[in-house]
Amino acid sequence: MLTYIIRRLLMVPLLLFGVTVLIFAMLQFLSPIERSALYVRDIPRNDKAVEGIIKRYKLDRPMHEQYWFWLVGTVDASTGKRAGGILFGDFGYSRTGAEPVATLIRNRFPNTLDLTIWAVAPVILVGIWLGVQAAVHQNSIIDQAARIFSIVGTSFPTFVFGLLMLMFFYVKLGWFPPGRMSDASSIIVRSEEFHTYTTLLTFDALLNGRFDVFLDALRHMAMPILTLSYISWATFLRVTRSSMLETLRMEYITTARAKGLSEHDVIFKHAQPNAMIPVVTLAGFSVILLLGGVVITETVFNYPGIGQAAAIAAAQLDVITVLGFALFNGLILIVSNLVVDVLYAVVDPRVRLS
C-alpha cells in the first residue's frame, strides 16, 4: 500500500503542473494589456505607462519566461512588495470584485465551505441508507421510487429546480429566504461580542452559543443545500444500490445465509462493508459535482460564496477572476482526489495488501 500511496503522492506535482499550464494556456487568449490585471490593480489609459507595465511584468516575453514569472511574480526592490506569483497566493486583481482575487476567495470561500459541508453530510448518510434499502428490497416500492427519483433528479437542471424552490418556499410560503442571513443576525455577527473561530457561520454561531443566528443561517441555507445536493443524492443512491445488489449476489453471502446468520448480520456485517468500496470513490467525485454545482446554486439563491462571484465575473467577462477561481478549485480537487484515493487504498484490502 505504501508504494501505491507514494506513487499517488508523486502524481500531485505533475497534476499541479498540468493544471497551471492549462490555465496559463487559457490566459494566452487575452492581450498583454488584459493580462496585466494579473499584476496591477488599475490599468492606466496612457500608452507609455501601459508599455512600461508590459515590460516590467514580462508580458511580451517568450511563453516559458512568462509562465515562470506568472508562477513566482516579482518583488519590488524599493517597497519590498510582491506583485503576482500564483505560487505565493497572488492571483491578480478582480475587476468585478474590486479587490485582489485572493482576498475575494478568502472572504467568500468560508460561505461556500459552510454550504458544502451541510450539503455533503446528509447526502452521504441518506443516499447510502436509501441505496441499501432499495437493494435489499429489490423491486419493492422503495426501490421503484428510488429509481424514479434518481432518473427525475438527474434530469432536472439545477437552476430550474432552484427557481421552483424559490417559487414555492420563498414567494408562496415565505419559509426560506434567499441570501446569507437576516439583517438581525447580520448586526449580531458584526458586533464585538461575536467571536470568529472558524469563519464558517453556522459553526461560529454554535461556538458563540447564538442559536438564533445558527437557525437563521440554516434557514437561509436550506434551499441551497437541497438544490446543491439532490443530484448527488440520486447518484449516491444508484451506485450504492447496484454495488449492494452485486455484493448480495456473491457466493460468500449465500454461504453466510446458509450457515444461519440473521438477515441483518448478513446485510450489515458481510455485504455492506464490501459494497461501500465503490461508494468511497463516488464520495470523492461528489466533491467535484458540488464545486461545479455551487456556481449555479449560489447564483440562483443570491448566496455570497465563490460560485456566485465566479458567475458574476463570467457574466461581465472578467477572465482574470474566473481563472483565479478555477485555479483555486483545481487545487482543492487535486487534494480531495488524493485523500479519496488514499482512503480507497485503506478501505479496499485488495489495494491495501498488494
What is the contact surface with other proteins in residues (CB under 8 A)? 3, 6-7, 10-11, 14-15, 18-19, 21-22, 26, 29-30, 147, 150-152, 154-160, 163-164, 166-167, 170-172, 178, 242, 246, 249, 288, 291-293, 295-296, 299-300, 310-311, 313-315, 317-319, 322-323, 325-326, 329-330, 333-334, 337
Dist. CA 194–CA 176, nearest whole Å: 24
Residue 62 Cβ, how far from other proteins at the closest point, in Å? Answer: 21
Quote the least distance from Cβ 196 to other proteins, whole Å: 28
Between 184 and 335, CB nearer to other proteins = 335
Residue 176 vs 214, nearer CB to other proteins: 176
Q: What is the rounded CA–CA span in Å between residue 88 and residue 149?
A: 46
Query: Residue 140 corresponds to which cell in the numbers above?
Result: 419493492
- Collapsing DSSP to helix, strand or coil, 49 comes out as helix
Q: Are strands 74-75 and 99-100 parallel, antiparallel or unpaired?
A: unpaired
* 156 DSSP 8-state letter: S
- Cα pseudo-dihedral 333, 334, 338, 344, rounded to 10: 40
* CB nearer to other proteins: pick between 249 and 352: 249
Q: How far is the CB of 5 from other proteins (least distance, A)?
A: 10
Helices (H) and strands (E) in the chain, counts: 17, 4
- Nearer residue to other proteins within complex by CB, 187 or 317: 317
Which residue, 83, 108, 82, 84, is CA-closest to 27?
84
Q: Which long-range contacts (CB under 8 A, 24 or more apart) does 53-58 make?
A: 57/83, 57/84
- Is 98 exposed, middle or buried, given 0-12, 13-18 or 19+ CB atoms closer than 10 A? exposed
Q: How far is the CB of 10 from other proteins (least distance, A)?
A: 7
Sequence-distant contacts of 184-188: CB under 8 A, at least 24 apart: 184/212, 184/216, 185/212, 185/213, 185/216, 185/217, 188/212, 188/213
**CA 34 distance to own-chain centroid:** 28
With respect to other proteins, which residue has the nearer C-beta, 210 or 241?
241
Helix, strand, coil fractions of the chain, as percent rounded to 5 = 75, 0, 25
Nearest approach in angstroms of CB 14 to other proteins is 6
Min. distance of Cβ 161 from other proteins in angstroms? 9
Instruction: Pick between residue 87 and residue 317 the one whose CB is nearest to other proteins.
Output: 317
Q: Smallest distance, Å, CB 79 to other proteins?
A: 32
**Closest approach of other proteins to the CB of residue 292, in Å:** 4
To which residue does cell 508590459 refer?
54
Whose Cβ is closer to other proteins: residue 205's or residue 226's?
226
Of 188 and 342, the one with the shorter C-beta distance to other proteins is 342
**Shortest distance, position 77 Cβ to other proteins, whole Å:** 34
- 57 vs 301, beta carbon nearer other proteins: 301
User: For residues 15 and 334, what is the distance between their CA atoms, to the nearest angstrom?
Assistant: 7
